[in-house]
């Protein structure tokens, strides 16, 4: 494990760059994580991130399909918002662990 300064806080991250303690997440942390992925967050991004965080906190499985059925965006929009691995990138930016469906 290592630490990184994100959103003005020292955050513990794992070897893949995912936050270890999800409770440290806030919009400022998300903004810094997104900048590392060259993504500028919009309200739609934040709505997806909150959806993923809620699913993770409820212990539900997180999949691309579940995002597409969220009513927030469809799968095509998800790929546009988080290009090059949408579920991995969105999960990292949301401060949750990498979904088991991601390699």
Element counts in the chain: helices (H) and strands (E): 5, 2
Catalytic (active site) residue 1: no
- Say which DSSP state 12 is in: E
User: DSSP 3-state assignment of 4?
Assistant: strand
- Say which DSSP state 31 is in: H
Backbone angles phi, psi at 49, to 5 degrees: -60, -45
Q: Which amino acids are annotated catalytic?
A: 102
């Amino acid at each position: 494990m290592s630490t990184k300064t994100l959103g003005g806080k020292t955050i513990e991250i794992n070897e893949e760059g995912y936050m270890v303690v999800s409770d440290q997440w806030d919009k400022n942390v998300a903004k810094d994580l997104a900048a590392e992925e060259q993504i500028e967050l919009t309200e739609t991004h934040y709505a997806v991130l909150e959806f993923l965080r809620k699913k993770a906190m409820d212990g539900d499985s997180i999949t691309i399909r579940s995002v597409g059925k969220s009513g927030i965006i469809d799968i095509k929009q998800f790929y546009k918002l988080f290009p090059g691995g949408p579920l991995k990138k969105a999960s990292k930016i949301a401060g949750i662990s990498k979904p088991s469906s991601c390699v």
